[in-house]
C-alpha cells in the first residue's frame, strides 16, 4: 500500500517546472533542498505535511515501527522518480 500511495503522491503540489529550472532560477524550493532532487523532496515533504493533519492522518492506527517503515518506503519510492 505504501507504493500505491507513493505513486498517487509523487507529483503532489507540482509547480509545472523541472528541477534544472528551479535550480538555475535559485528558487526557494531548490535552496531548501540544496539543489538535490528538488521536486521529489518537495513532493515527499508536501505529502507528509498533508497527511499529518488530523483529518487526513491515515497512519493514525499504525504503531511507531509501522509508520517508520511506511514513511521510509514512500520516501524512497518518490525520490526514485528523479530521472537525473
The pTM score is 0.92
What is the domain range of residue 55?
2-79
Q: Is residue 84 part of a domain?
A: no
| Gyration radius of the chain's alpha carbons | 14
Predicted confidence at residue 24, as pLDDT, reads 98
Predicted confidence at residue 47, as pLDDT, reads 98
Predicted confidence at residue 57, as pLDDT, reads 97
Q: Is residue 31 part of a domain?
A: yes
Regions of the chain where pLDDT drops below 70: none
Q: Is residue 36 part of a domain?
A: yes
Q: Is residue 73 part of a domain?
A: yes
C-alpha cell read off for 70: 511506511
Predicted confidence at residue 80, as pLDDT, reads 97
* Dist CA 75 CA 2 (whole Å): 10
Question: How many domains does the chain divide into?
Answer: 1
Amino acid at each position: 500500500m505504501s507504493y500505491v500511495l507513493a505513486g498517487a503522491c509523487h507529483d503532489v503540489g507540482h509547480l509545472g517546472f523541472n528541477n534544472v529550472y528551479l535550480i538555475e532560477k535559485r528558487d526557494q524550493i531548490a535552496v531548501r533542498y540544496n539543489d538535490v532532487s528538488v521536486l521529489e523532496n518537495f513532493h515527499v515533504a508536501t505529502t507528509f505535511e498533508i497527511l499529518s493533519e488530523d483529518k487526513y492522518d491515515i497512519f493514525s492506527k499504525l504503531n511507531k515501527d509501522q509508520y517508520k517503515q511506511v514513511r521510509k518506503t514512500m520516501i524512497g519510492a518518490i525520490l526514485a522518480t528523479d530521472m537525473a
